[in-house]
Structure 1
């Protein structure tokens, strides 16, 4: 009764080019697609197509050469380059049979019965074309009656089930509500106890505590949004003295306040030029916020990954070197300079903030862990960090214990991304050997070849880049015992290039 046809669909044939292809196989493929256009602008395969052929002239999927496959795509033009003719829409043409068309034009609906015999449903009667079939009307009436009975039984059952459920909820309402509020109260009471203990321990050294009304005033009712993440949103604001701040407002559904109190406690213990300063915090019921000093240049990642013109970097090599050295000094301070050792566990470009002079400051201590200095290994219930920067031993404990060397690994991966201006693992690169950037860099250093990094203008910048690469390759050693401490990393960056040795592969 009804047929449909896709009007603007054309067959394309994708043929993989492998190193095993011989000239004879290639010639057979070309003979097979005689009269077809060939597009070979894609690496690893060619595309054959012919925009003038009809559907019945296409080669079936079961009659294709080896390594070739059929792809059917919509087109919007019949001439031009391959990617100019491809279209975003599929046009479908519907065709009704003559009897269905008459039924439809007469106000009826085309239907088929169990034997696939066509019938026209009109005015609650079934009129069969050709010979009138009275039994069809009777069957339709009987079927309608059965449907009414079934619907009545379903409606009755649903009503009884609903009533029963409401009775149960009514009987247990007090227990359910009591349990819900008890859990909520216990959670908030525990979080508040942590905050109060923290304020008591730090006394006058504790950061300022704001109420939620203050947070709304500081941010101008959250008018200027700087960014967002899984934790919540960051807003720009200003204090009464005119100083600018960044306010991180945490999601209300964040769960327990452990990460929040952890971040407040961690940063409050620090005072270093390369650690972000915590101005204050808000903890009012489920309303939680952190107030930091404002960093005009935002986070480091936008200067690494954003597109740039050929041979021009977002940041010059002297500034990149300054940032790498500053972060290393900040981590050295966290690991050795504080009264309590702080392990960050989430070092990445997004958590490095830059002031107006591009001085780096480590931020976001939500995953940090405090431990006494004599502890070389810390215990963890589960993985912490961001994929691409997490040290192997955090995921696979057989490789060694989790310690400050885990931060060293994250630092190395981050600096390599600063050097390359790209992710360390990138499948979009032209050559397969460059997919894992650290391995490619190691090979070039091993062969004493140029690093081919963008923007190096003189020998001094080339030396800075090589020191950053060698130090980072030491940092990302799989065995934590082979990684240097952050104090040693600072020494490597500040020292002479000739004094640096190549790390194990």
Structure 2
């Protein structure tokens, strides 16, 4: 997208945003007016609290200093106050303060709590005749309870000598008693029949509050607002009544606010909405600008990295800079030394510096000529090259897990570090890479050096074929090439490369090398191992075929049947690939199908190690092919 087009779209988007904000603000204003009309009347009789946890205070109670006298019932007991620490208090003459914990306006009950001290001392000689609360009477209906009079408890207190302590233990008032005397309390004349000759009258208490406890649930009977509360209506004094204590129910007004107040509330709400919308718009614009800058940086970085990843020609001075003067050596091969390098902050590479004294430059030409045509996930990517006089180097993508060789040839006594499932994935990846070289390129590329050392692994252990120094190009219409000398690594070279008695050299030579690779992956060892104790196991493929043919165990550490199936499949496919004669080997396309298919459909291959024995199959018999083969031969392409 061009910058002009982007700006045009951005301007259009900004205009749409402004228009949307205006519509939204108008909607908020209308909504705010409706909300303001629903606000209850704001006067001094609205519900108050000392704190958000304490009960709400409304008629018949009122909160001193926050509600006018007409907001509560004209009786001292209904006047509440807030303490210094914001607790709701009910004050009684002589400084008796009780904490209010709950008010049930419909049941007309109040829960009180005495915070500490001696309640007997507070109630002694206290006149509570005008106290509007009483202990709730049990067993009465709601209507009867309201008509009954507040009940009081009467206590008579005596001061007795300490010698009578055991006799009056159950009546003793601990907080009033002293070591020299004890105070005992009797209810409603219960002291008759007791010997009180050593006692003297101490005082009398008449109260609805039990002095034995610190928590009380009391009821008020007047005013009677329970029915109003049950109907969801308010309760208040009837100002038209001459007694000035008569109450009435009323509907709580909802639309009782003036036009000025409604407009003020609407202005506050709509103003807040507009401010919020502006803040959102500014934040959106800032985020858009930030995102645009991040996109530009990302694109520039991608173009820089893409430029670095294109196959480019470097000078020898560039190679020294990339490798930090050959500081980090990764490995040594027959054709050169590999160093770790860095093209940019995020692009790592592996640089192979070729030996100048070997060959006539054929390996360099093969590598650049072959890999410059290749773009496949399972083939190492050639990033660049250097041909600066006698100094030659090849620059590849960097693969952190090195080669497959170090994972399948574990040291003696150590478990394989790759699971059987991962080994199968690697086998399929390598097979697809070779199939691409044979069929996916403009011209067929024969690798001629497939082996574990040339299979590199990325950070996810995905395989990539490398080292095309021995590769050859040929037309896909031709099935063979002529060669003057053998090439490859012993143990992986196909028989026809060494002797034409087995047929002509073709893409089937890579199939043979791949088969040897599969067998080494299964065995976890070199196919030719002279260090084993049993001489029959020196050549692993022949030993493996014999075991597989007889249905015997492989002697490989396998944990379950699924892993056994993977090992057996890789072994069968490998044995098909190492048939002595090229025409007996499958193409890499068929090999991929075999590796991705089910084990049950695989057929046991002919025995490549006994030319006179008839081939054995799993459920089928395959006739032997004649020894003499005639494949059309073409010249090598330079």
Task: Report if TM-score (shorter chain) is over 0.5.
Answer: yes
The separation in 1 between residues aligned to 2:587 and 2:596, in whole angstroms, is 14
Distance apart, 1:460 and its partner CA? 1.4
1:243 and 2:243 are equivalent in the alignment: no
Distance apart, 1:366 and its partner CA? 0.5
| Other-structure match for 1:487 | 589
Distance apart, 1:225 and its partner CA? 0.3
Distance apart, 1:295 and its partner CA? 0.5
Deviates more, 1:442-451 or 1:317-326: 442-451
Question: Which structure shows the higher helix fraction?
Answer: 1
| Other-structure match for 2:552 | 449
Q: Secondary structure of 1:358's partner? A: coil
The separation in 2 between residues aligned to 1:246 and 1:504, in whole angstroms, is 42
The separation in 1 between residues aligned to 2:444 and 2:359, in whole angstroms, is 26
The separation in 2 between residues aligned to 1:442 and 1:382, in whole angstroms, is 31
Question: Could you list the per-position Cα deviations for residues 339-368 of structure 1 after superposition, in whole angstroms to 9, with x for gaps in the alignment?
Answer: 110000000111110001110000000100
* CA distance 1:306–1:449, shift in 2 (3 Å): closer
Contact kept, 8 Å, 1:211 with 1:282, in 2: the verdict is: yes
| RMSD over aligned Cα atoms | 1.5
Q: Secondary structure of 1:299's partner? A: coil
The separation in 2 between residues aligned to 1:240 and 1:438, in whole angstroms, is 46
The separation in 1 between residues aligned to 2:393 and 2:512, in whole angstroms, is 30
Q: Secondary structure of 2:519's partner? A: helix
| Other-structure match for 2:408 | 304
| Other-structure match for 1:401 | 504
The separation in 2 between residues aligned to 1:255 and 1:479, in whole angstroms, is 31
| Structure 1: unaligned runs, 5 residues or longer | 1-204
| Other-structure match for 1:391 | 494
| Other-structure match for 1:433 | 536
Tell me which of 353, 370, 373 is aligned to 1:269.
Answer: 373
Distance apart, 1:328 and its partner CA? 0.5
The 5 A counterparts of 1:139-178 are none
Question: Could you list the per-position Cα deviations for residues 413-434 of structure 1 after superposition, in whole angstroms to 9, with x for gaps in the alignment?
Answer: 1111111111111121121221
The separation in 1 between residues aligned to 2:478 and 2:581, in whole angstroms, is 19
Tell me which of 324, 331, 339 is aligned to 2:434.
Answer: 331
Distance apart, 1:236 and its partner CA? 0.2
Contact kept, 8 Å, 1:206 with 1:268, in 2: the verdict is: no
Contact kept, 8 Å, 1:246 with 1:291, in 2: the verdict is: yes
Question: Could you list the per-position Cα deviations for residues 90-123 of structure 1 after superposition, in whole angstroms to 9, with x for gaps in the alignment?
Answer: xxxxxxxxxxxxxxxxxxxxxxxxxxxxxxxxxx
The 5 A counterparts of 1:175-194 are none
| Other-structure match for 2:314 | 210
The 5 A counterparts of 1:17-96 are none
Distance apart, 1:447 and its partner CA? 1.1
| Other-structure match for 2:363 | 259
The separation in 2 between residues aligned to 1:291 and 1:225, in whole angstroms, is 14
1:466 and 2:568 are equivalent in the alignment: yes
1:282 and 2:386 are equivalent in the alignment: yes
| Structure 2: unaligned runs, 5 residues or longer | 1-308, 608-638
The separation in 1 between residues aligned to 2:462 and 2:489, in whole angstroms, is 23
| Other-structure match for 1:368 | 471
Distance apart, 1:319 and its partner CA? 1.1
Distance apart, 1:338 and its partner CA? 0.9
Contact kept, 8 Å, 1:308 with 1:314, in 2: the verdict is: no
The separation in 1 between residues aligned to 2:463 and 2:390, in whole angstroms, is 32
The separation in 2 between residues aligned to 1:255 and 1:411, in whole angstroms, is 26
The separation in 1 between residues aligned to 2:465 and 2:344, in whole angstroms, is 26
Contact kept, 8 Å, 1:426 with 1:436, in 2: the verdict is: yes
Question: Could you list the per-position Cα deviations for residues 387-424 of structure 1 after superposition, in whole angstroms to 9, with x for gaps in the alignment?
Answer: 00000000101110100000000011111111111111
Contact kept, 8 Å, 2:410 with 2:416, in 1: the verdict is: no
* CA distance 1:242–1:206, shift in 2 (3 Å): closer
Number of paired residues?
300
1:225 and 2:329 are equivalent in the alignment: yes
Question: Could you list the per-position Cα deviations for residues 65-104 of structure 1 after superposition, in whole angstroms to 9, with x for gaps in the alignment?
Answer: xxxxxxxxxxxxxxxxxxxxxxxxxxxxxxxxxxxxxxxx
| Other-structure match for 1:415 | 518
Distance apart, 1:492 and its partner CA? 0.6
The separation in 1 between residues aligned to 2:560 and 2:377, in whole angstroms, is 30
The separation in 2 between residues aligned to 1:234 and 1:218, in whole angstroms, is 12
The separation in 2 between residues aligned to 1:359 and 1:288, in whole angstroms, is 29
The separation in 1 between residues aligned to 2:543 and 2:336, in whole angstroms, is 37
Deviates more, 1:384-393 or 1:235-244: 235-244
Distance apart, 1:452 and its partner CA? 2.4
Contact kept, 8 Å, 2:340 with 2:398, in 1: the verdict is: yes
The separation in 1 between residues aligned to 2:554 and 2:592, in whole angstroms, is 22
Distance apart, 1:308 and its partner CA? 5.0
| Other-structure match for 1:317 | 420
The separation in 2 between residues aligned to 1:396 and 1:258, in whole angstroms, is 23
Q: Give the structure-1-normalised TM-score.
A: 0.58
The separation in 2 between residues aligned to 1:214 and 1:293, in whole angstroms, is 16
Tell me which of 605, 608, 618 is aligned to 1:503.
Answer: 605
Question: Could you list the per-position Cα deviations for residues 17-55 of structure 1 after superposition, in whole angstroms to 9, with x for gaps in the alignment?
Answer: xxxxxxxxxxxxxxxxxxxxxxxxxxxxxxxxxxxxxxx
Contact kept, 8 Å, 1:249 with 1:288, in 2: the verdict is: yes
Contact kept, 8 Å, 2:428 with 2:592, in 1: the verdict is: yes
